[in-house]
Amino acid sequence: MPPRVVERQEIMDRFLSLEVARVTERAAVAAALLRGRGNEKAADQAAVDAMRREMNQIPIQGTIVIGEGERDEAPMLYIGETIGTGVGPKVDIAVDPLEGTTLCAKNMPGSIATMTLAEGGTLLNAPDVYMEKIAIGPGYPKYVVELDASPAENIRRLAKAKGVATEQITALILDRPRHADLIKAVRATGAAIQFITDGDVAGVIHTAEPETTGIDIYIGTGGAPEGVLAASALSCTGGQMYGRLILDTDEKRERARVMGITDPKMIYGIEDLVRGDCVFAATGVTTGSLLKGVRFKPGMIETDTVVMRSASGTVRWIRAEHRQFEKFEMTTPK
């Protein structure tokens, strides 16, 4: 058989998939040094700095599309910031250097460092507002669940498609007062609810593998930036997600308009949130059900990372042992 011809672009993004892992590893270690110190800002800043430092070494012309803030919040990885060596492919970047800052500051399960690198111009430029979200795993007909169907209807339809009773469905929901009605409606179907206090990027990713995670559906309102990151992960694993920005003030509608959003009520599917190929990576900061957190051991630091590539649907779990500590900022306590 003749050798398979690998396109230049494919070589590039296969190569970049290791680079993104390196970036989230560095950010995770930086944040992990500040686990349990009660200082969300410091942990977040450490992750941001590490992420920026590492990304600036990658041969890309990157633009931050989903970042830590909008333009004049300079010290963060702000929307519109250019990143990378400036040589290489034009790419859109979504980052959440420390997803679940509170989890990290309180040393609670489930904080991660995460990013997505996508073809230039393909990620939704979402403002930092709330997004209504619903997500399920792969293997179901399209629109088996819908954002505008009632929660009870969605649970019933999902149970039917799965061939089980509604009592055998588990929904993952962010524990927030704004979800009181949603929680009541889901409970009324007999379905189980698993709560998270933060971290809905990982929350949505749980739906991709219900057999392992026990989560069939994610429902609720969380951050829009987190929505784009989660959608990029599902674009690699399969699954469905629908999202709608909550633009409930003139100021938010104007911010969205400036970012190119003309229909404030639009329901986005995965292919609208991520319109091309992407590479997603996440490294555990504190141990959660998706990833183990950073381990500081004598002579080495261990990290667990997941890297996903949409072009191939490959999901890699990378346990890394780092021995060159000078690559990390070890000035703070562990």
Per CB under 6 A, residues contacting ligand VTB are 99-100, 174, 176, 198-201, 222-223, 226
- Tokens linked to 280: 């997603």
- Tokens linked to 144: 């088996």
Residue whose CB is less far from ligand VTB, 61 or 197: 197
For residue 268, the minimal CB distance to ligand VTB (Å) is 16
Burial of 128 (0-12, 13-18, 19+ CB in 10 A): middle
For residue 310, the minimal CB distance to ligand VTB (Å) is 21
For residue 294, the minimal CB distance to ligand VTB (Å) is 18
Residue whose CB is less far from ligand VTB, 118 or 229: 229
End-to-end CA distance of the chain: 53
Residue whose CB is less far from ligand VTB, 201 or 241: 201
The residue type found at 152 is A
CA 326/CA 179 separation, integer angstroms = 45
Beta 268-269 vs 240-245: how paired, if at all? antiparallel
CA 224/CA 233 separation, integer angstroms = 15
- Report the residue closest to ligand VTB, judged by CB: 222
For residue 67, the minimal CB distance to ligand VTB (Å) is 13
The residue type found at 219 is I
Residue whose CB is less far from ligand VTB, 25 or 200: 200
Residue whose CB is less far from ligand VTB, 56 or 107: 107
Three-state DSSP state, 140:
coil
For residue 88, the minimal CB distance to ligand VTB (Å) is 30
For residue 42, the minimal CB distance to ligand VTB (Å) is 16
DSSP string, 205-244: HGGG-HHHH---EEEEEEEHHHHHHHHHHHHHH--EEEEE
For residue 199, the minimal CB distance to ligand VTB (Å) is 5
CA 67/CA 78 separation, integer angstroms = 5
Residue whose CB is less far from ligand VTB, 19 or 226: 226
Residue whose CB is less far from ligand VTB, 84 or 110: 110
Q: Which of 300, 264, 259, 308 is nearest to 283 (CA)?
A: 308
